[in-house]
């Protein structure tokens, strides 16, 4: 890179915004599902504790400083089929029409399997009312990590099941399915993905549908983030970037499962995700922290490697 004066060099080298990571520490904040409402970011995260409240919602106006606003569920509105108090995973909040939907993973008391639920609320902070039965269940195994794709006036739910990603068309209210067609849209077919792909998140940019996802075991240092893209539809067929775009650093491990949203300027993109501290990966008392990082794009329309 040629530089004409120190200030020009500094500007060219530091155009990416850097956050003071982790942006949420001192607790457990996995799988952040982020939505922007009237210029405010709201992040819902996994709950792995015995408390009577599940899925904390934090708010921020700058993606750096976050404030606890409340919870999706408490003793007054738990899903009637959920196995309390454990395993409330991977919540996401989405606006559908004039209301809000929460999609989440919890264990069904009848089947003892992980299922995907849905809940409705008039505002992003609730109060949320869950469906009386799971939205997605599979008697042959666990399903988890649901995300909503809202594109071209149609809704699709994407989730992980049998270690692959699957998609199905939703009705306009996002609370049931239009038909019985379920499509497998991605498999773990690259070595670094390990035994599974999960945590999908869709964005549209420059004519491409991008699906950010995580691969490998979340409870390990091998957990990383990949990306695939399609010019055909939001559910593929996809071309994968061969190498992961977010990997371990000296201080943080097992980075992944997050949300890609617009930056505070409304132009750039950011990734809000979780990770473990080095030396504290999935052991007793270990927590996943929340991070914010810039997503930069190359001239080839692939996202560059993400800097923590």
What CATH number does the domain located at 18-295 have?
2.115.10.20
pLDDT at position 86: 72
Pairing mode, strands 252-262 and 269-277:
antiparallel
Nearest residue to 34 (alpha-carbon basis) of 9, 58, 1, 62: 58
Whole-number CA gyration radius for the chain: 19
Q: What is the mean pLDDT of residues 173-185?
A: 97
Q: What is the pLDDT of residues 208-259, one digit of tens each?
A: 999 999 999 999 999 999 999 999 999 999 999 999 999 999 999 999 999 9
First to last CA, the chain: 23
Whole-angstrom CA distances from 13 to 1, 7, 236, 298, 303 are: 9, 10, 35, 15, 17
Q: In this model, does residue 2 exceed pLDDT 50? A: no
Q: Give this prediction's pTM.
A: 0.94
**Tokens representing residue 269 in the block:** 């993109």
Q: In this model, does residue 11 exceed pLDDT 80? A: no
The sheet that has 88-96: what strands, in order across it? 88-96, 99-107, 114-121, 129-130
Q: In this model, does residue 304 exceed pLDDT 70? A: yes
> What element of type H or E holds 41?
strand 40-44
State phi, psi for 173 to the nearest 5 degrees. Answer: -90, -5
pLDDT at position 14: 41
**DSSP code for 40:** E
| Full DSSP string of 172-189 | TTSSSEEEEEEEEEE---
Q: What is the pLDDT of residues 86-143, one digit of tens each?
A: 789 999 999 999 999 999 999 999 999 999 999 999 999 999 999 999 999 998 999 9
Least confident interval from 15-24, 29-38, 110-119, 228-237: 15-24
**Tokens representing residue 2 in the block:** 């040629």
Q: Which pLDDT band, with edges at 50, 70 and 90, does 172 fall under? A: very high
**Tokens representing residue 36 in the block:** 């922007």
Q: In this model, does residue 302 exceed pLDDT 60? A: yes
CA distance 161 to 141: 7
pLDDT at position 18: 87
pLDDT at position 50: 64
CA distance 205 to 76: 41
> What element of type H or E holds 6?
helix 6-13
Task: Provide the mean pLDDT of the chain.
Answer: 93
pLDDT at position 47: 85
State phi, psi for 6 to the nearest 5 degrees. Answer: -60, -40
Least confident interval from 34-43, 77-86, 198-207, 280-289: 77-86
pLDDT at position 36: 98
């Amino acid at each position: 890179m040629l530089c004409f004066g120190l200030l020009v060099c500094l500007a060219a080298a530091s155009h990416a915004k850097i956050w003071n990571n982790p942006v949420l520490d001192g607790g457990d904040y996995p799988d952040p599902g982020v939505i922007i409402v009237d210029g405010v970011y709201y992040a819902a995260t996994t709950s792995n504790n015995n408390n009577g409240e599940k899925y904390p919602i934090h708010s921020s106006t700058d993606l750096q400083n976050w404030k606890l606003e409340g919870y999706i569920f408490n003793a007054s509105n738990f899903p009637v089929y959920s196995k309390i108090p454990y395993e409330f995973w991977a919540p996401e909040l989405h606006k559908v029409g004039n209301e809000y939907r929460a999609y989440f993973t919890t264990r069904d008391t009848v089947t003892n399997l992980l299922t995907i639920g849905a809940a409705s609320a008039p505002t992003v902070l609730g109060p949320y009312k869950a469906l009386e039965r799971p939205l997605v269940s599979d008697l042959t195994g666990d399903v988890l990590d649901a995300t909503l794709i809202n594109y071209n006036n149609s809704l699709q739910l994407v989730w992980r099941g049998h270690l692959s990603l699957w998609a199905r068309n939703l009705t306009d209210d996002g609370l049931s399915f239009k038909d019985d067609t379920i499509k497998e849209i991605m498999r773990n077919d690259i070595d670094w993905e390990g035994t599974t792909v999960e945590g999908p998140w869709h964005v549209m940019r420059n004519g491409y549908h991008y699906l950010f996802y995580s691969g490998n075991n979340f409870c390990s240092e091998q957990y990383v983030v990949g990306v695939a893209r399609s010019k055909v539809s939001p559910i593929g067929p996809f071309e994968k970037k061969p190498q992961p775009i977010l990997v371990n650093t000296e201080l943080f491990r097992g980075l992944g499962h997050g949300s890609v949203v617009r930056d505070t300027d409304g132009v750039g993109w950011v990734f809000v995700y979780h990770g473990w501290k080095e030396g504290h990966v999935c052991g007793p008392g270990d927590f996943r922290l929340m991070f914010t990082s810039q997503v930069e794009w190359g001239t080839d329309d692939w996202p560059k490697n993400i800097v923590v």
